[in-house]
Chain A
């Protein structure tokens, strides 16, 4: 009886693994064949021998796939965007949550609602006016333009706020006895204490930023600022090159999740 349930568990799990891995494997296997072969024989389950050829021409050649830009430059753009979004939102949220939790204020509930409202309005719902504002500020086709509107979110503030609330009151009491002012307490006590949480939120925001699709698609008109994920919509060229680009586009966030999953999950569940 036990052996039967034991193998049933594994059977279901292996089926789940196949469900997740098979589609990506098929696209990967197909990306290692020539386009001619794909066009005549369809998607492939086994590897071909054009891996280096296909991937290097997508990464380093400008003409054919996109006109003025290589995939390498698009990865560079994506990294700048994702790092900018993660850094900006972690820094501002860390400070804002501190201002909300560690201060007594008259307008605290008003300010809290100001920040709470940001959860209601994802970028998709304010895309037109945001575009107008960015165009008035002359920020279309720039890194700042890619970063700023996506950083305008307070999700991270809620994570940090929740975390600060779980910090024992005695910490501030003893810091005050030592004569620490609010800035010193923040930098010397709270930030080092929040390291795991900061790492988790940073990873979360990095992946969130890297995966942005609609905003980069709308606001970049010159290829120099194209990012990887939006490039999926604008790419042309041979089919096996497209497969290669799709596979490459998912590598950075997937690696981040696989290698940093402990940190990530630990951070998210810390307050439970």
Chain B
């Protein structure tokens, strides 16, 4: 906290008001509505609704398709975090150690970070279409890949589509983390330990822990929410609905299926999950973990 501050006065509310006003109308009000939806059941023709207690929650927990989406979301975020984290780290370590062309590599590796997930999905679509998809035919020749029918193959499809641009994000943050490590620490460790690989795992990697932790959170949040555009432009849940994420399922049930109660309950479950993730993330933003 600041030691020197202004006294509370109306001018403070002048500074806070614009943001709070936008949040009130476009955030708090919709959240309240979501809670209202989650605890009411509307009759099929939309003529009336009644208070339903936890019936909507009981409904989603007894619904096998909710578990399917839950399982997929967990697997999806785990695999994406693992793949993008390790490739991002590998590339960052290489880029940090080359003497020439560091900036060229950096520039050429970070740009996919800016591309919208939906654009990535549409692109992936071209590579995985039965008609002229290069990867589709490559994998098809190797083991009979067919994501239209096989769940595992559909997983491979959405994992590749979902990982591609996120490698860049991991690369950027790992590289920044590596550059923040003090030169003297590295120099001292070179004297003690000659093996590059051992030195990396015993000295450098532990020093990268805050970055790693931060990226795990970032990657999980990405897999939960930002992949919406990817799913909607690639499998749309195919083969059956095995590749629907929780967010995608809530959207389909609410917006397409018009089951507001179920969608509301699903949204609240997601909010709880995000609450847990955000508390961890918040510890990072608040600077409780330091690089040095």
Contacts and interface: CB of A to CB of B under 8 A. Distances in A.
A59 to B, nearest CB: 17
B27 A118 contact: yes
B251 interface: yes
B2 A165 contact: yes
Contacts of B233: 232-233
A103 B172 contact: no
Q: How large is the interface on A (under 10, 10 to 19, 20 to 34, 35 or more residues)?
A: 35 or more
Contacts of A115: 19-20, 23
Contacts of B151: none
Contacts of A120: 271, 274-275, 278
A68 interface: no
B107 A258 contact: yes
Given A119-B278, A121-B274, A257 B19 contact: no
Given A126-B31, A126-B34, A254-B114, A148 B22 contact: yes
Nearest to B108: A17
A49 interface: no
Contacts, number: 265
A172 B233 CA distance: 51
Interface in A67-92: 88, 91-92
B30 A133 contact: yes
B119 A152 contact: no
A91 B2 contact: no
Interface of B: 2-8, 11-16, 18-20, 22-23, 25-31, 33-34, 37, 87, 90-91, 94-95, 97-98, 101, 105-119, 122-124, 126-127, 132, 134, 164, 167-168, 171-172, 176, 180, 196, 225, 228-229, 232-233, 247, 250-251, 254-255, 260, 263-264, 267, 270-271, 274-275, 278, 281-282, 285, 287, 291
25 contacts: A23-B127, A92-B18, A99-B13, A99-B15, A111-B20, A120-B275, A121-B31, A126-B31, A126-B267, A128-B33, A128-B260, A129-B33, A131-B255, A148-B25, A157-B19, A162-B285, A169-B3, A169-B4, A211-B119, A213-B117, A249-B116, A249-B119, A250-B119, A258-B107, A258-B111
Given A104-B6, A124-B228, A125-B270, 6 more contacts: A19-B164, A20-B109, A114-B28, A115-B23, A129-B29, A152-B27
Interface of A: 5-6, 9-10, 12-13, 16-17, 19-21, 23-24, 26-27, 38, 42-43, 88, 91-93, 95-96, 98-106, 111, 114-122, 124-133, 148-149, 151-154, 157-158, 162, 165, 169, 172-173, 176, 181-183, 186, 207, 210-214, 218, 229-230, 232-233, 243, 246, 249-250, 253-254, 256-258, 261, 265, 269, 271-272
- What are the 4 A-B residue pairs with the smallest beta carbon separation, nearest first? A99-B15, A129-B33, A211-B116, A152-B26
